[in-house]
A and B are shown apart, each in its own frame.
Chain A
Amino acid sequence: MNDQFSEHEELLLRSWDGSVSARERQTLAEVMQNNPAMRQQSDQYQKIRTMLLRTEPDSFGPFFAERIMNMIKQRTQEIDYLIFFFFKKYQVLLVGVLVALLVSNMLLTDQLTVKGILGLDQGTTEDVYTIDLYDNLTK
């Protein structure tokens, strides 16, 4: 394929896109008239194009969109499930720590009340003040 031919071939391709100037169209018409080999090739390209060009829309078959939607739904559920199990081990650990804290509070406190078990019953301000006073008196 020499350069001149390539140039004409490019012109031919562009003419099929409708992107040639009037002058280029004229040049192409002259080439076709004077070059039987080029004319034959153009005819062959045209046959190939006609055979290849899609005439009917394609499809992946019925219910393709439904299959996609099911895949997305299934995948979302799988991700939610994975996230749940990823954090579940930390949830179990946290519950264990909380239970241990409650049990230790229960054993250490002298008052078996809910406040005591939760570690909220730490005595009144007066109790603390009295103890401070007692400390001062004994020094």
Chain B
Amino acid sequence: MEQPGDEELIEKSKVGDMAAFKMLVTRHEGQVAGVIRTLLGSTPEAEDVGQEVFIRFFDSLKKFRGESKLSTYLIRIAINLSLNELKKRKRAASRYASIESADGIKEIEETLDLKEHLQYAFNTLDPDFRAVATLRLVEGYTTEETATILEIPLGTALSRLARAQQKLRISLSKKLRP
């Protein structure tokens, strides 16, 4: 049996069909989880943000006119909420955490294997760069799609991607040598 499309499920959800809404959640959970967990890590806040994404979508169902694809719309909300969460964390960290010394960071980096080090370096990217890198490098969207989701010009997406990649490469340069 053919699965109903997003548009059909949205229309049903608008008139109170909760089973249709549940189907939409199930269908898009993976993409939303991927973006949020890449940006925030596998933390309890990541699921909270995930829940918030779908609750906000539910609240704005009546206003949703389908001008963009549902996946684009949900990922845009997920990115914005995740960036807010990152800002909150940054504020909390600057308030309470002690400043790590450069030697300390270097020591941490040396104990990590390549994949862990890459994850560590990824998490130290500026949030705006991390958002672009998440969509383009992790989730596999094209740069144009990334720019559309983030509502930024293509040139900005390309330059942020270039800088993010460069930072990752420099951070991993020793370990990436053949």
A124 close to chain B: CB less than 8 A: no
A residues near B108, Cβ cutoff 8 Å = none
Q: A13-B158, A68-B25 are in contact. Are A58 and B137 (CB under 8 A)?
A: no
Whether the Cβ atoms of B29 and A53 lie closer than 8 Å is no
Within 8 A of A (CB), among B73-119: 114-115, 118
Report B's interface with A, CB cutoff 8 A. 18, 21-22, 25-26, 29-31, 33-34, 37, 46-47, 50-51, 54-55, 58, 114-115, 118, 122, 133, 137-140, 142-144, 158-159, 161-162, 165-166, 168-169, 172-173, 176, 178
- Size range of the interface on A? 20 to 34
A residues near B159, Cβ cutoff 8 Å = 10
In the complex, what's the smallest C-beta–C-beta distance from A4 to chain B, in angstroms?
14
B residues near A53, Cβ cutoff 8 Å = 137-138, 140
Count the A-B residue pairs with Cβ separation under 8 angstroms: how many? Answer: 96
Pairs across A and B, CB under 8 Å, 8 listed: A6-B162, A9-B162, A47-B176, A48-B176, A57-B31, A64-B29, A71-B55, A75-B55
B residues near A67, Cβ cutoff 8 Å = 51
The 5 closest A-B pairs by CB, nearest first: A58-B34, A57-B30, A58-B33, A65-B25, A52-B137
Q: A17-B144, A52-B122 are in contact. Are A68 and B54 (CB under 8 A)?
A: yes
